[in-house]
């Protein structure tokens, strides 16, 4: 038989490949983790985090930048910041910190996380904290408090001009405070608007600096920040925006000697299909060489380079595993596999922005395959998943005829970024489909893989309490 799921995978992709393989029983291994064994131990549905991937990703980016810096004799440093918004969980943020990263914040409550991390001795007052986002008064107050408490490397990045007035009023540091300016980028023509709502208009930045910051001994403009909504891509829009921002950096640098950092934000992509093909080394190399080229042409010193990778740091740590509960045939062609949870509540990006994730069955790779639609348990008509990144269809093994046999299990992989932040963790859920249990997998001190339950499946009581039925 050459139409098994195994055949399909081998005909379509290079397999096995980094992070994905099968074991002797032909069930899936994700980064060496036996997913079938986790299913046997914990039952589905569950989310899992493979923590060691974080260190691997941080090391990969640091190496790419240091290689490019060496190759181009670039006279600036590279700083890896983790943007907490992609996952605020303590076990995630603390793991990133073990790998020597700095942090980027987005909202006032992030500063409470920073304070906790300091109390737990996970960071020092020298850790670089880049404060991004449109600032509420509570956020600017919390940032000012951090600086007043002696955190020496906090860099508030101005998202608009008025924000600066808040710091002038509330920061009482004896030493000059470093600040940044986020430059609003132009989006691709296919996007819903032209210019990002985040940041200060590019053509206003120079005048703002001259009028408001230059000559103020309390504040130094240290960083220029930009972030393309569509991420770091090898296309004309990315290189054109990078060049524009670099020219602005050079103009400013000539009148602002303290300026010494360029923050290129996040946006390094991750694998959403086994067909993923992205040349990370080429992109990093091009970024470093472009910065050097533009600075040389303008006869200014190159900046230190900061990044704030969210998806890249933690996206590939995550997976969500479901059982297929049953098969429904709704017409001559469309077969639905009903999963034991909901896409809306566990992978909201699939529903909200049509995001695709890398999807593979865990077992039954020896069965024939067929095209199916995947359906979630909520009654929302959009709770489905019917196409993949590389093909406008979903193929999965056929279910066994005998009702008593083991169910088909499926996994969505590289789901570690943003999904819990968007779905909410706990709380009220569509049709009261609970948040699934969450398993963490890591290596112990002896290098042996161990798994532990971070959170149980959400209970009905937790929802009834919020809904006011029980105290
Ligand atoms: C300012 C800023 N930095 C970093 C990121 C992280 O982006 P990514 O998760 O694509 O790396 C974002 C994402 O929205 C952002 O707005």
Alpha carbon distance 156, 164 (integer Å): 9
Cβ–Cβ under 8 Å, residues 377 and 338:
yes
Cβ–Cβ under 8 Å, residues 341 and 377:
yes
- Residues in the chain predicted with pLDDT less than 50, given as ranges, are none
| Domains detected in the chain | 5-51+321-466 (2.40.37.10), 72-309 (3.20.20.10)
Tell me the CA–centroid distance for residue 216 and ligand 1, in Å. Answer: 30
Alpha carbon distance 253, 270 (integer Å): 34
Q: Which atom of ligand 1 is nearest to the CA of 417?
A: 9
Spell out where 193-334 has E strands. 219-225, 261-263, 304-309, 318-329
Q: Encode pLDDT of 188-237 as tens digits.
A: 878 888 888 999 999 999 999 999 999 999 999 999 999 988 899 999 99
Instruction: Give the pLDDT score at 326.
Output: 95
Spatial neighbors of 340 by CB under 8 A, at least 6 apart, are: 44, 45, 322, 323, 324, 325, 377
Instruction: Give the pLDDT score at 368.
Output: 97
Instruction: Give the pLDDT score at 1.
Output: 59
Instruction: Give the pLDDT score at 129.
Output: 98
Neighbouring CB atoms inside 10 A of 379's CB total: 9
Q: How far is CA 32 from CA 20, 48, 64, 99, 399, in A?
A: 8, 13, 25, 21, 25
CB crowding 201-228: b at 16 or more within 10 Å, else e: ebeebeebbeebbeeeeebbbbbbbbbb
Tell me the CA–centroid distance for residue 309 and ligand 1, in Å. Answer: 6
Tell me the CA–centroid distance for residue 69 and ligand 1, in Å. Answer: 23
Spatial neighbors of 254 by CB under 8 A, at least 6 apart, are: 298, 300
CA atoms lying within 13 Å on the CB side of residue 1: 10
Tell me the CA–centroid distance for residue 33 and ligand 1, in Å. Answer: 29
CA terminus-to-terminus distance, the chain: 59
Instruction: Give the pLDDT score at 98.
Output: 97
Task: Indicate the burial class of 119 (C-beta count within 10 angstroms; 0-12, 13-18, 19 or more).
Answer: exposed
Q: Is 196 in the pocket of ligand 1 (CB under 6 A)?
A: no
Which pTM does this prediction carry?
Answer: 0.96
Tell me the CA–centroid distance for residue 80 and ligand 1, in Å. Answer: 13
Q: Encode pLDDT of 340-369 as tens digits.
A: 999 999 999 999 999 999 999 999 999 999
Specify the DSSP class assigned to residue 210. I
Q: Is 80 in the pocket of ligand 1 (CB under 6 A)?
A: no
Q: How far is CA 184 from CA 3, 34, 85, 220, 454, in A?
A: 51, 45, 20, 20, 39
Q: Is 140 in the pocket of ligand 1 (CB under 6 A)?
A: no
Q: Is 227 in the pocket of ligand 1 (CB under 6 A)?
A: yes
Tell me the CA–centroid distance for residue 425 and ligand 1, in Å. Answer: 21
Q: Which atom of ligand 1 is nearest to the CA of 315?
A: 9
H helices of 298-413, in order, are 311-314, 343-346, 348-352
Query: Which uninterrupted H or E stretch holds 140?
Result: helix 137-148
Q: Is 417 in the pocket of ligand 1 (CB under 6 A)?
A: yes
């Amino acid at each position: 038989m050459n139409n098994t799921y195994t055949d399909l995978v081998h005909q379509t992709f290079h397999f096995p490949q980094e992070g994905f393989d099968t074991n002797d029983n032909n069930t899936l291994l994700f980064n060496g983790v036996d997913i079938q064994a986790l299913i046997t131990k914990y039952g589905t549905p569950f989310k899992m985090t493979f923590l060691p991937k974080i260190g691997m990703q941080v090391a990969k980016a640091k190496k790419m930048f240091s290689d490019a810096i060496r190759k181009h004799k670039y006279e600036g440093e590279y700083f890896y910041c983790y943007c907490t918004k992609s996952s605020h969980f303590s076990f995630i943020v603390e793991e990133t910190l073990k790998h020597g990263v700095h942090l980027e914040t987005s909202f006032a409550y992030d500063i409470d996380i920073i304070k906790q991390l300091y109390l737990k001795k996970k960071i020092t007052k020298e850790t670089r904290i880049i404060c991004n986002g449109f600032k509420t008064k509570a956020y600017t107050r919390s940032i000012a408090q951090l600086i007043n408490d002696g955190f020496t490397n906090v860099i508030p990045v101005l998202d608009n001009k008025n924000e600066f007035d808040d710091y002038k009023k509330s920061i009482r540091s004896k030493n000059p405070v470093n600040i940044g300016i986020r430059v609003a980028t132009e989006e691709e023509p296919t996007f819903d608007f032209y210019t990002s709502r985040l940041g200060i208009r590019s053509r206003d930045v120079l005048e703002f600096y001259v009028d408001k910051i230059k000559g103020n001994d309390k504040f130094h403009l240290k960083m220029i920040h930009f972030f393309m909504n569509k991420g770091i891509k090898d296309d004309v829009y990315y290189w054109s925006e990078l060049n524009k921002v670099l020219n602005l950096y050079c103009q400013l640098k000539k009148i602002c000697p303290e300026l010494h950092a360029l923050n290129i934000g996040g946006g390094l992509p991750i694998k959403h299909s086994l067909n993923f093909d992205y040349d990370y080394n080429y992109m990093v190399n091009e970024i470093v060489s472009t910065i050097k080229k533009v600075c040389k042409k303008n006869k200014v010193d190159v900046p230190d380079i900061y990044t704030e990778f969210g998806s890249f740091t933690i996206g590939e740590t995550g997976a969500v595993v479901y059982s297929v509960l049953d098969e429904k045939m709704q017409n001559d062609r469309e077969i639905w596999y009903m999963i034991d949870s909901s896409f809306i509540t566990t992978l909201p990006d699939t529903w909200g922005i049509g995001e695709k994730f890398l999807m593979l069955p865990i077992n039954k790779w020896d069965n024939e395959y067929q095209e199916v639609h995947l359906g979630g348990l909520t009654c929302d008509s959009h709770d489905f998943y019917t196409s993949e990144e590389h093909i406008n269809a979903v193929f999965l093994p056929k279910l066994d005829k005998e009702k008593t046999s083991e169910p088909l299990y499926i996994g969505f992989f590289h789901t570690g970024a943003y999904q819990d932040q968007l779905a909410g963790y706990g709380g009220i859920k569509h049709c009261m489909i609970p948040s699934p249990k969450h398993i963490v997998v890591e290596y112990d001190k002896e290098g042996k893989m161990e798994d532990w339950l971070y959170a149980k499946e959400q209970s009905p009581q937790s929802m009834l309490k919020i809904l006011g039925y029980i105290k």
